[in-house]
Amino acid sequence: MTVCDDFDLAEDLLKGFTRSAIRTKVLLSLKDGELTAGDLERLLGTRASTILHAVKDMIESGTVVRGLRGYTLTNTGRIQALMLSRLLSAIVVLEKHKDFWRTHDISAIPDDLLVDIGLLRDGEIVSGDPAAILRTQQIFVSQLISSRSIYGVSPIIIPEYPTAIDTAVKNGAHVELVLTAPIVEIVAREYRDILKDILRKDNFELYRLDAEVRAAFTVIDSSLSLGLFRLDGGYDIGHDLICTGPGAREWGMRLFLHHKKRAERITSI
């Protein structure tokens, strides 16, 4: 069965989402639990008669049932609501930062995380002139030093970061880094004393990735900083996506683990 065959089977359902905004909003509103007609009227800002007409159709289609005091989703309806909510969040992220996603290489992000890109909806692009970028880097370095946990993947090196990581490890932070092979060589050569010291620490782990990765990102405590390469092949140091919240951290950790499992741990130099 091809994707076109799948579409033919699902076409009526997909049209149902787009044809009736009321039904779609009812579906999404009931995602988190049972609501009365009055609750739905307040949430949707629509007359109760209009909502009840949509609910009647949804009961007949098997997505909504009557509950103890109002209406609730069937199993099928809940699954549809969760899938639609994920899609809407992804659309919001892509529209909010469309230039960022359109002009950068996303090959470092696996498909399952691209599907869940809506988890990054609480994010902002940090960009600007060189002075502004420098200030942003300085702020991020201070956040690194004070973080309780740091998970990073990088094919680049920024001079201030090794010292910041050293300080964070000595402050008790749990730190895991995945660096590409060329960056490991640079760090081992130019920051040898720092690296030898923190490799002895139980709260520091270093991994070498013998493959190209077209992203540099760091997950610290409850935030994610994501930088990507431009489509022309150069790393875009002038634009970072900074995301906060548990959803962004979950997304960032999944991306980190994706690359970590392809890497080899380094215990000494």
pLDDT for 127 equals 76
Residues 72-117: pLDDT tens digits? Answer: 999 999 999 999 999 999 999 999 999 999 999 999 999 999 999 9
The answer to whether residue 130 scores a pLDDT higher than 70 is no
Quick check: 6 pLDDT over 90? no
How far apart are alpha carbons 38 and 163 in whole angstroms?
A: 58
Judged by DSSP in three states, 177 sits in strand
Check whether 58 has a pLDDT greater than 70: yes
The mean per-residue pLDDT over the stretch 20-46 comes to 93
pLDDT value, residue 36: 95
Q: Tokens for 185, please give them.
A: 């060589």
49, pLDDT greater than 80? yes
Structure token digits, residue 249 = 């951290």
| Residue closest to 258 by CA, chosen among 146, 114, 161 | 114
Looking up tokens 């060329």, which residue turns up?
A: 182
Domains of the chain in sequence order: 3-90 (1.10.10.10), 98-266 (3.30.870.10)
Spatial separation of the C-alpha atoms in residues 8 and 48, rounded to whole Å: 34
**Is the pLDDT score of 3 beyond 80?**
no
> Which of 102-111, 232-241, 255-264 has the weakest average pLDDT?
232-241
**CA 164 and chain centroid, separation:** 25
Confidence of residue 268 (pLDDT cuts 50, 70, 90): confident
Residue 136: predicted pLDDT: 66
The stretch 119-138 carries a mean pLDDT of 75
CA distance from start to end of the chain: 53
